[in-house]
Amino acid sequence: MPLINLPTFAQDLLALFETLKTERVDTPVIQPAAPFLNMAGEDLRRRIFMTESETGESLCLRPEFTIPVCLRHIETATGTPKRYAYLGEVFRQRRDGASEFYQAGIEDLGTKDVASADARAISDALAILKSLLPGRALTVTIGDQSVFEAVVAALGLPQGWQRRLIHAFGEASKLDALMERLARSESVTDLGETVEALLASGDEAALVSHIDQIMEETGYSTNASRSPSDIARRLKEKRVLAGTSLDAAKLDALREFLSLSVSLKYAPGVLGTFADRAGLKLDDAVSRFDARVAALANTGVDLSSITWRAAFGRPLDYYTGLVFEVTVREDHRVLAGGGRFDRMLTLLGAEENIPAVGFSLWLDRIETVRGQA
């Protein structure tokens, strides 16, 4: 039995889900921990309540619904497109509020028209909140990780640096630190003279042989999770990344991009102008961005109530494109949030690529707002 009371508006919310042509789904409260630990990101990982099965399998109390819904979809093999709705308890440590609370939401799996699916996720979240909070002024903030990825790629950075920056997307302090580092190149000082000389020579076979010999002599090879070839590749990448820097013009362009924050009504023009002025080839990313804005306009959503912030991200590692949050105006508490996670189902074991987008609603926060005068 639940330890906390179901919000008073839960039945109204379930009725709204039906009108949006979704299928109600539930998932077990006890979940395998590995998918969350591997895919959800550091912010969620450190707040999960862990346990263990009798056989030693790592388990956890359900910290969110997106991963369990996707796992269930793969297990049941029901085909796509599919729109699932859920409402139930989740368990995770929070900075404010109880560690057990109700979440609800919609996951849209397999819709090929990405722009329309993104627009529908935002418009559905707004429609639900407007119904539950009549008369309240709502604001939406959106970002797009895929646009950031396109900017980083267009700057010509090595793949390792691109991964570092993308992993830090949405976390201003981490991005600032990485950009400070990119302002200068560094040397790697902890490789040892022999390894450094082999790296400098470009003789990969000799480097692999040297690492293999060291592993054998130290006994490390019997417990190693990486082969000598894997370690050699990592060392080469470490050396390249350390020696990488961005010239001032490119670093300024990256900082300028991250500073962009405008009404979505004007965002396509602003993004296009930025790409032209910076001399970056962002045609595909700009085209996808424009298509989403057009699709949102077609839903009747007021674009002037939405802010696009180029640096805006959400603290979950599985997002791949759109991210968004909805609040009541002049209130920082997030009532709904979500985004696109196109790689998740493949990583969870789906045999084919399944595009996916969705959002969650924080029911305890919505109930608090409903109770305010």
DSSP for 125-152, written as a single string: HHHHHHHHSTT--EEEEEEEHHHHHHHH
The kind and range of the H/E element at 51 are: strand 50-52
Q: Rounded CA gap, 60 and 16, in Å?
A: 30
Residue reference for tokens 């894997």: 230
pLDDT, tens digit (0-9, with 9 covering 90-100), for 273-312 = 999 999 999 999 999 999 999 999 999 999 999 999 999 9
Q: What is the DSSP letter of 6?
A: P
Please answer whether residues 57 and 88 qualify as being in contact, where contact means their C-beta atoms are separated by less than 8 angstroms. no
- Model pTM? 0.84
- Spell out the domain ranges in the chain: 10-143+331-371, 193-242
Where helices occur in 42-171 by DSSP H, the ranges are 42-45, 66-76, 114-132, 145-154, 159-167
Closest CA to 145 of 360, 341, 359: 341
Q: Rounded CA gap, 62 and 299, in Å?
A: 33
Per-residue pLDDT of the chain (373 residues; tens, 9 = 90+): 455 788 999 999 999 999 999 999 999 999 999 999 888 877 788 889 999 999 999 999 999 999 999 999 999 988 889 999 999 999 998 877 789 999 999 999 999 999 999 999 999 999 999 999 999 999 999 999 999 999 999 998 888 888 889 989 999 999 999 888 888 765 555 566 776 676 667 777 877 777 777 777 776 654 555 777 877 666 666 665 566 677 889 899 999 999 999 999 999 999 999 999 999 999 999 999 999 999 999 999 999 999 999 999 997 889 999 999 999 998 989 999 999 999 999 999 999 999 999 999 999 999 999 988 5
Architecture, CATH, for domain 10-143+331-371: 2-Layer Sandwich (3.30)
Neighbouring C-beta atoms of residue 116, cutoff 10 Å = 18
